[in-house]
Structure 1
Amino acid sequence: MHFSRRARTLEMSEISDAEKVRIASDFIKHAPPGEFNEVFNSVRMLMNNDDLLKDKCITAVSQYNIGQFVPVKLDGVPKQTLITSHNDLGNGRFYDEVSKKSFKYDHVRKEASDLQPHTTSTNNIDEQWRVALQKELDAYVDSYYLKTGTGVVFVKNGVFVVCIESHQFQPKNFTNGRIRSEWTIPVGDGKSGQQDLKGSIHAQVHYYEDGNVQLFSSKEPVVKVNVSADFEKTAQEVFRVISEEENKYQKSLLENYSNMSEHTFRALRRQLPVTRAKMDWNKAHTYRIGQEMK
């Protein structure tokens, strides 16, 4: 059922502010990739209260950006960085591991400002690990994601985390999608030999031409990787394994698509109409469909 804008606004005005915030926040946090602005503007129209939206729903907006690994361009910095929980300084500020700068981030406009130098407590060994891993990550992202992705190595308290984001927004073709992954790298603790490489991969695609279909897919692989004191050799091994796992994941998605097309969707189709007789399309003009429906 379709409602007018005035009817929807009146409907929202009949519930409490707390319930409005809950509903609006839920819409915002589940916005499809590439369609945040459309969802936000629709929520704004429904709430009809900019002060309430700004004061109470900004948390949902920041959670969305952080969870989606939204990329951001910093002035004077060649490569983009990501908005994640790993570089969150609080109070709307984040930092870039590569350029060693912090910045203020506007979650609604998705813009960075007020760049300042940022120093971390990372020791020399951790920094060597980070540089080696970032070098291999840059090469991997440029090759594997055909320069549509962004990857950053974060290090905090001796823990190394790789975050990767790639998206394709094609509103003219009624489709948008994003894939992101996070990997905890087992280096920096001085241990050698086979260690656990833990990952988390998420894909979300929205197709909305003559319909509304969304795909949500995720996987949390745990694989072994050979770790040694050699920074470059270990970094190469890490991203060889990550490449294998992400390839497996994407191949499994393609196999699922094929299976759905050949089996699942076919099973949903009615083999025969309710009359239990096949339609003779050559005689379609002689059928009295309206009368049959009566």
Structure 2
Amino acid sequence: MSVEGGAGEPLSDSQKREIAVWFLTNAPAGEIHYVAKDVRALLGDDAVYEAAAAEAFPEYNKAHLVSLELPDRSGDIIIATYGELDRNNYLDPRTAQVATVDHIKQTCTKLRPAADEELPSAYIEEFRSALDVELSKYVAEAYPKGVCAVYCTSGKDIEGPGADFGFAVVISAAKRSPQNFCNGSWRSIWTMDFNYELQFVDIKGKIQVDAHYFEEGNVQLDTNIDCKDSTIMQSPDDCAVSITNIIRHHESEYLSSLEESYLNLSDATFKDLRRKLPVTRTLFPWHNTLAFSLTRDLAKELALGK
């Protein structure tokens, strides 16, 4: 990487590393290894590349909620901040195991049972596992190859009724089709605070959708939305059903809005752009792209799973 800095000065190794980290962490969903290959070639310095990769890959994996198959094939683990015990070890709350992760290779290398102090109490686990069961049913119906996890974020040592606690729900789904020049991902994070005194559950969510279509061009969809809702605090099973229905409602509604946006794309959409038409002088074929298909298919699959 021979780009020069200010006043004609060549970039230092530190500056090169920072630039490389930026490109790696901003790679489209599912494409960091393609970007890494080019970054490594441009740098021409393995030491600088390895330093950049060691910093960028963990952040990318957590930001994109990358899921990895567990070594014992008992399921998938999501690389999420909520399950992070340290830089390379992540808790899978469903199987009560801790996986050691190779972030750069995006694989799990080791697996061990979680220690008692890493797990919630039996009382909290009753609520957590009930929600995990209902959520898993919903995700299996709504998102092909989607994965989910429920983490206890506060109050994990509570032994019985009388105190507040919190959960985080993470949903990750992806559609990879690089041979057809298209990749996409769905990520949603829902946090819920259980207030015992008010017998109330406050729910907040953030949904992120990315799609990248790169045949003879570079078109990306990068959108997100924040949601709020609530429900009453009930038994673990009833809470699980109520919370899952709320998540289903908001996600279904958002998918429908995305599909409608695609269907309503018209010439007016491009009025504020610098160039109304691409250099080919033809409108971009939105309806024929896999980026459109991703959103449309997800919407249909979610509708069928209601």
TM-score by length of 2: 0.79
Q: Which residue of 2 aligns with 1:275?
A: none
| 2:203 aligned with 1:205 | no
Pick from 132, 141, 144: which aligns with 1:143? Answer: 141
Q: Which residue of 1 aligns with 2:93?
A: 97
Q: After superposition, what is the alpha-carbon deviation per residue over 1:247-286, rounded to whole angstroms, capped at 9, x for unaligned?
A: 111111122223323531478758xxxxxxxxxxxxxxxx
Q: Distance in 2 between matches of 1:129 and 1:45?
A: 50
Q: How many angstroms does 1:59 deviate by?
A: 1.6
Q: After superposition, what is the alpha-carbon deviation per residue over 1:5-24, rounded to whole angstroms, capped at 9, x for unaligned?
A: xxxx4437931111101110
Q: Distance in 1 between matches of 2:204 and 2:2?
A: 49
Q: Which residue of 2 aligns with 1:64?
A: 60
Q: Distance in 1 between matches of 2:87 and 2:261?
A: 42
Q: Which residue of 1 aligns with 2:237?
A: 232
* Residues 245-264 of structure 1: pairs in structure 2 closer than 5 A: 245-261=250-266, 263-264=268-269
> Would you say the 8 A contact 1:122–1:156 is kept in 2?
no
Q: Distance in 2 between matches of 1:170 and 1:182?
A: 24
Residue 266 of structure 2 aligns to a residue whose secondary structure is helix
* Residues 172-187 of structure 1: pairs in structure 2 closer than 5 A: 172-187=179-194
Q: How many angstroms does 1:192 deviate by?
A: 5.3
| 2:129 aligned with 1:131 | yes
1:154 is matched by which residue type in structure 2? Y
Q: Distance in 1 between matches of 2:142 and 2:151?
A: 20
2:219 is matched by which residue type in structure 1? V
Q: Percent identity?
A: 29
Q: Which residue of 2 aligns with 1:277?
A: none
Q: Distance in 1 between matches of 2:13 and 2:91?
A: 34
Pick from 14, 30, 44: which aligns with 1:18? Answer: 14
- 5+ residue gaps in structure 1? 1-8, 271-294
Residue 134 of structure 2 aligns to a residue whose secondary structure is helix
1:181 is matched by which residue type in structure 2? S
| 2:153 aligned with 1:156 | yes
- 5+ residue gaps in structure 2? 156-165, 278-306
Backbone CA RMSD of aligned residues: 2.0
Greater Cα shift, 116-125 or 190-199: 190-199
CA 1:232–1:192: 2 relative to 1, 3 Å:
farther
Q: Distance in 2 between matches of 1:194 and 1:233?
A: 13
| 2:157 aligned with 1:165 | no
Q: How many angstroms does 1:77 deviate by?
A: 4.0
Pick from 195, 204, 207: which aligns with 2:201? Answer: 195
TM-score by length of 1: 0.82
| 2:68 aligned with 1:76 | no
Q: Which runs of 4+ in 1 moved over 4 A?
A: 191-194, 266-270
* Structure with bigger gyration radius: 1
State how many pairs are aligned. 259
Q: How many angstroms does 1:121 deviate by?
A: 4.5
Residue 31 of structure 1 aligns to a residue whose secondary structure is coil
Q: Distance in 2 between matches of 1:72 and 1:23?
A: 27
